[in-house]
Structure 1
């Protein structure tokens, strides 16, 4: 209705222009009409409204009448437009789609009574074109051509098998995946080359023997009903290997392998028969819309898929799960959902096909675009299973040993699987784009936008995973190449060796790169759907400005952390002191803060902006000084020789020689106390190894002192009793002595605690 009003408005404007021109050409007309007292009311429109009648009416009208008619018409159009609201595009599209879908089904049901008669007319047209004798002759010639082509196929396949010069492995021999794929690939290539020879021979002989009228029938017959089912059988044998369970790529038993192979061929045959029957009827005078026989054949294809999915549900679940020993929750969920996924794809494709038919968009359906699309959608999850199997053989070997290396290797394997899945989705999307001839540039359609959206997301995700893969490999190499002593080996006092600078910075770099990738490709993906991203960028700028003003402390923490990392003040694994008695090993670093793990267990979270001074106890090297108290009469030179001997022995010990930077040696007499003299020794070692070395030095000093007759000085309490013989002490004297000694010991202990 809106377009009709627009057309009427334009027509009135044209009439106005014509009237104005006529008034200028005939001056005095208006005055004459006015003076004659003609009425200004617009006359009635002539019936019928022809161009000649309009010109005659305009010739009789005055200027006021023309102006009044135009204003009345414009007012009516304006009122109509002001009361009309634009319909919701999505609701309108859904309504139109439902109308097209329902009309397709309704028409097919209504045409059931004429289906048999229409098919009879098509068959009658076939025999009237070729005649009974001509049809029999054509079938005889086709049989001869097929026989010759089949013989040529066998000869080519046998010759190619000789050229391969690779004996097939016996069923009892143990083969890895590579050998299995080689065997199946050789057999598949041999079959494909044979089928290619079959196709070429039939094509060449058909052109030589058959007439053009006969080729129009024979070519689709051979293609859809013979060659395509045989091609499907070759593909099914490659994937399922029903006769060679030892060479089977998918986890399925012999019964279901044979069942699926047979029904895949039957499904392709039914789909080919559908296309052939529709083309056959159109060729001999019965249009597809007259009988709608294609609807019933096409629906039978989808019903066939649903039956296969329901009957082989257990086998399909096993194929999706593969031979994974410990499947994840995601893998189990996907395997259980695959049969229902196949049913959903069949139902959705049936709806799409009938909707296109209801809209009279059947051009691409005649080439089987819906069947090709459905094939790739159904095969994609199975290809995912093959990707998981191939990944186990394509992932690089594990770097180093231990839990860190194992975790990195497992993360790399998962990244390979995810990258393979995304590439698979992108390839399937591109194939579907080519099937439906969707152009990503110069074409505005939902399909083109959707394909471009999927491709953008796929490229972004691959970049995301490649960044994680590269960083994880570098982290694994750095971490496994460094000694990371356990907390028990460091005596529970912290101060272990830190990781390299890369292991500290790379996780933060990875987080920043991944966030950038997500933001950039999210904007590109949203833009590919036709959504203007300029308001999003403006909103992000305003939000960033608001955060900058409202979270100055957060900004301060982030900036301080950046400068701490630039200065390389600390690394993950290093033992640091940030003041206020807060010490610990750097356990985790983020963009705002880092966590310190105290050697007794507590974890401190320290924002970067609160750090005034940071002391690092684990950077490059550490010097440890050990004190030993010996009696006053001990020879210091003798102790010095013992320390030197211990240092030399530990430098030659394979367990400790790589940890020393300077050997253990004596520093002479350091101090005197009330029980003896203090002799100090020192050594320089790599951070984190000093406690293990100290423990070993203590053990060796004790053993060598015992061997040399040197005792460690210890505190004693002596009670002097003048003019008394110890042998003639009374019990009261002994009690007094014990009480005095106890009091002295208690006083020394109190002083020691202070």
Structure 2
């Protein structure tokens, strides 16, 4: 195999050297005639060699082969490359070029006969009359499908979409509404196309008159071709909308939309028709040289028509190049003016080069066809789409790094330093875009050259890596923007409606109670961002040819080492994960954990930030939380005591408290915060001096403070209106009558009793405060 490869590479080089130097006669005259050696003599000579002689002979042959390989590497590119084959077109000694060109020239007179032979295969009896009749039958079934389509439109479509025209059309549509409106506008045409395809196919299958596979294949080819052309026309109208600018998605004017619509439709229809009939002719047995001539003729006609359009519209395109809005300056630069003056010459030269490359591939049947001609022909639309993606990536990167923003939100006067920074950012953006677009043009040219098997040793591989990187980054950024926007929307939805909550309305602090989405989604966004950056980095390294297997293995080892060395960190992360999974607490909830109380202000991977109701921020690792008491789940039962004199009417007080509770439940400010109404629980205890009645209600967490204050106020006012007052603390000192008692003895005893009573009341108040906390 190695000797054959060396011979294949060296043969064209030897032929060129012989032709240039004219050494054929000299070589044949100066060198002795080769001796003829039979197979028997070769076998006899080899059999007579010793082991040492055979080993030396084998080593010498291997050394010759190695020296030939080194010589071949020094000679430069492969002689089978497109550049060498392009030069060989002018070389009369090139076997491939000469044979391919000769085949095409010999096939020219036979084109008519070959096409006629292929056409007659539409008839099972191989007659022209029968083939023509079958062709007419195929057209008849297609016409039947059109009639069914028209009947469907007249009987069904007009009735279904009769009310669409009566809708009020707005003056402007933007965003997704424009796409939805375009789809709605073209929906009847999609239905018509579906009825046409199904009707033609069903009628043909139901009334088919022949078992010829060629006729069936020809009918399906024509049906699919017409369906695809009409579908492309509908999709093009959706985006360009040449008749109505209201539904136009592409940002162009009506004149350019009409020209673009017609040009795209004609070009797509022509290319698709040529490809479809080429497939049909190949299935019908058309010879390979005639088929190559068919494609060469149609490609030549396409390039010629394109060249004529370039010459016809050269002034309009030049004006559009000069007058198009530029992000790099307000007026057209010198380079843009020069390019506008010679753009048509460059385009025509590109078409000529494209035809030469196509002819070079057609004369070589062994050359692989990877769609190089069509991709090269549509290089301008490919460049436009790639340029838009590149601009979007650069703008997104600049905005993310806060280097340059398209729009600035100015809340007040802008300082000179901000203006200078913005101008500097704009200059950086302009330079970055210039370098990026220049690199994009070079990469597209290298990519097009690679399609034609013209490889530049370093840059060809580099262009593939850059294209893969751009695609990976584009997909990653689109996915990240979608996820980030969705998370932001869900976070906004989880925020409470009332954002103007006063600090004095909540003894637990001013933090609003957040939903579970507000707690989990920010951490989910960080996790997704980390995973996305890691995957993008690994994918880009893999596309560059880097073996990421050792990197993944090393990352696993490092992760295992970190896991063993930082057990506390791992315990904190896993504890936090399971706390969040169990929905133990959320941002804004008041909890007690590990002897620490406070409102959850923020949750990170390792810690939870608790804001104490007196203002201190407490940072607690997840593994130190322990059992958690969440005061914000369910309702809080609030009980408080009211002291009355011994002779107070208990039933009257109970009715007054009940009426106050009913009034508070009907109040718009408090009714949504009640879970159970305010009511009296009767007499709780009777002490030495007062009768204590307990009041109870159940409210939502955080709102119970406000309800309790309002209940105190309303109950007090209602009792005062009925002439009922709270009990005053009394100290009754019973002093036995003793002879010689004085006022000093009485005052001393009363003071001691009062002090004891005050001490007892302070102790009870401290215990009650501890229970409430």
- TM-score by structure 1 length? 0.49
- TM-score by structure 2 length? 0.48
